[in-house]
Amino acid sequence: MAETLLIIEDEPLFGAELVRHFRAAGWEVVLAENLAAARTALFHGGCEPLVVISDMNLPDGNALDFLEEARGARSSTEEWLFLTAYGTVADSVRALRLGAYDFIEKPCDLERLDLVLAGARRSGLAHRRLREISDHEHRRYSLEAFVGRSALAASVRDMLRKLANVPISGLVLGGETGAGKGLAARILHYNGPRSKGPLVEVNCAALPRELLESELFGHERGAFTGAHKRRRGLIEQAHGGTLVLDEISEMALDLQVKLLKVIEDKVVRPLGGEREARVDLQVVAASNRDLAQCVRDGTFRTDLYHRLSVFSLRLPALRDRLEDLEDLVPLFVADFGAKAGKSVRVIPEEVWAAFRSYDWPGNVRELRNVLERSVLLSEGEVLAGRWLQLSAPTGAGAAPAESEERISLPLDGRMSLDEIEREVIRAALERAGQNVTKAARMLGTTRQTLRYRIEKHGLAK
Structural domain range at position 84: 4-138
Q: What is the C-alpha separation between 394 and 30, in angstroms, rounded?
A: 69
* Whether residue 154 sits in one domain with residue 253: yes
* Whether residue 35 sits in one domain with residue 105: yes
* Whether residue 123 sits in one domain with residue 154: no
* Whether residue 273 sits in one domain with residue 211: yes
* Whether residue 167 sits in one domain with residue 113: no
461 assigned to some structural domain:
no
- DSSP character at residue 249: G
At 58, which amino acid appears? L
Q: What is the C-alpha separation between 316 and 150, in angstroms, rounded?
A: 11
Q: Which segments of 141-229 does DSSP mark as H helices, in order?
A: 151-164, 181-191, 209-217
pLDDT at 294: 92
* Whether residue 292 sits in one domain with residue 407: no
* Whether residue 331 sits in one domain with residue 218: no
197 assigned to some structural domain:
yes
For 276-328, give the DSSP string: -EE---EEEEEESS-HHHHHHHTSS-HHHHHHHTTEEEEPPPGGG-GGGHHHH
* Whether residue 374 sits in one domain with residue 259: no
* Whether residue 120 sits in one domain with residue 246: no
Q: What is the C-alpha separation between 280 and 263, in angstroms, rounded?
A: 9
444 assigned to some structural domain:
yes
- DSSP character at residue 403: E
* Whether residue 333 sits in one domain with residue 191: no
Instruction: Name the domain count of the chain.
Output: 4
Each residue's pLDDT, cut to its tens digit, for the chain (461 residues) gives 468 999 999 899 999 999 999 999 999 999 999 999 999 988 888 888 999 999 888 888 888 888 888 877 766 678 899 887 776 677 777 777 778 888 888 878 888 899 999 998 998 888 888 777 766 766 788 889 999 999 999 999 999 999 998 888 899 999 999 999 999 999 999 998 888 888 999 999 888 888 899 899 988 877 776 677 778 889 999 999 999 999 999 999 999 999 999 999 999 988 887 788 899 999 999 999 999 999 999 999 999 999 999 899 999 999 999 999 999 999 999 999 998 898 899 999 999 999 999 999 999 999 999 999 999 998 889 998 888 888 654 444 444 444 456 677 766 566 777 888 888 888 888 888 888 888 888 887 888 888 888 888 888 86
pLDDT at 134: 67
Final residue in a domain of this structure, among 98, 116, 138? 138
CATH number assigned to the domain comprising residue 46: 3.40.50.2300
Final residue in a domain of this structure, among 138, 157, 179? 138
Q: What is the C-alpha separation between 443 and 195, in angstroms, rounded?
A: 49
Give backbone dihedrals phi and psi of 52, rounded to 5 degrees, phi first. Answer: -115, 125
* Whether residue 412 sits in one domain with residue 351: no
* Whether residue 289 sits in one domain with residue 334: no
118 assigned to some structural domain:
yes
382 assigned to some structural domain:
yes
261 assigned to some structural domain:
yes
- DSSP character at residue 55: E
Nearest to 156 by CA among 118, 198, 185: 185
Final residue in a domain of this structure, among 314, 345, 378? 314
pLDDT at 405: 60
For 118-144, give the DSSP string: HHHHHHHHHHHHHHHHHHHHHHHTSGG
64 assigned to some structural domain:
yes
Give backbone dihedrals phi and psi of 221, rounded to 5 degrees, phi first. Answer: -60, 130
Give backbone dihedrals phi and psi of 223, rounded to 5 degrees, phi first. Answer: -65, -30
378 assigned to some structural domain:
yes
CATH number assigned to the domain comprising residue 435: 1.10.10.60
3-state SS assignment for residue 209 = helix
pLDDT at 70: 84
